[in-house]
Chain A
Amino acid sequence: MPAPDDFRSQLETLRPYLLRYAGLQLRDAAAAEDCVQEALLAALAGQASFAGRSNLRTWLTGILKHKIVDAIRRQAREPALPQEGEDAADEFDALFRRNGHWAERPAGWDDPDGALEQAQFFRALEQCLERLPARTAQAFMMREHLGLETPEICKELGITPTHCWVMLYRARMTLRECLQQTWFGR
């Protein structure tokens, strides 16, 4: 086991990554900062349980994930985020004709693997995420960024599985459209 000071400085080098990780989910710099601080303190206190594990970042991310879920739970108890209106649904329906078929068939994406090597692509993706309604983005990021299963997302957000699937579906379809417009269709 490294000396406590070594361990502490190793943790510190990961702070920027942790802040980014938390910020992507919480969209609130102060809340992200709090979560990272709590995670780092928990990591320091739990150094013994890290001993023998190979990847510090993976271990820390696991701790941070719990702190983020705690923060989401606290947020959920506070006055709710405004419910997303039906306008969003109407807009979304524009993708399909009344008979349920594509109004405009999706285009194929050229070199998607190459995009994953470009920092600019990820900025475009972040911008698309920022345009999503807050609750939709929250559910989507809990699923795809934190990697939570839907029952856990439903529990933390106090919604039904059906509602959860609808939000995830909306998020995916909206993000697809957005990336088509801002990246792949340029």
Chain B
Amino acid sequence: MRLLTCKETTRLVSQGLDRELAFGERVALRLHLAICIGCRRAGRQMRYLRQAVRKLAVVDVRSSR
């Protein structure tokens, strides 16, 4: 199997937040993530964005302005 580049990996990590990845995609992803801290961080940060955006509406912005 051809190894994924970081660009392909981050694209798949992102798609993994929007659709179910195929078995082959998950394997290729896991292989790359195991050896690449940059992509692990990017993935963690993309998942974190979801968490943060979900909280946006309930933040009391008035108290900070």
Q: Which residues of A contact B (CB under 8 A)?
A: 16-17, 20-21, 24, 95-96, 99-102, 105-109, 112, 115-116, 119-123, 125-126, 141, 143-145, 147, 150, 161, 164-165, 168-169, 172-173, 175-176, 179
Cα of A121 to Cα of B37 in the assembled complex, Å: 25
Consensus secondary structure, chain B interface: helix
**Interface size class of chain B, counting residues whose CB lies under 8 Å from the partner chain:** 35 or more
User: Contact between A176 and B42 (Cβ–Cβ < 8 Å)?
Assistant: yes
Residues on the B chain within 8 Å of A164, using CB: 18
Q: Which residues of B contact A (CB under 8 A)?
A: 5-8, 10-11, 14-15, 17-19, 37-38, 41-42, 44-46, 48-64
Q: When the two chains form the complex, which single residue of A119, A120, A165, A173 contacts B15, counting CB atoms closer than 8 Å?
A: A165
User: Contact between A176 and B46 (Cβ–Cβ < 8 Å)?
Assistant: yes
Ranked nearest first, the 7 interchain pairs of A and B with the lowest CB-CB distance are A100-B5, A119-B64, A105-B38, A169-B14, A144-B53, A100-B7, A21-B57
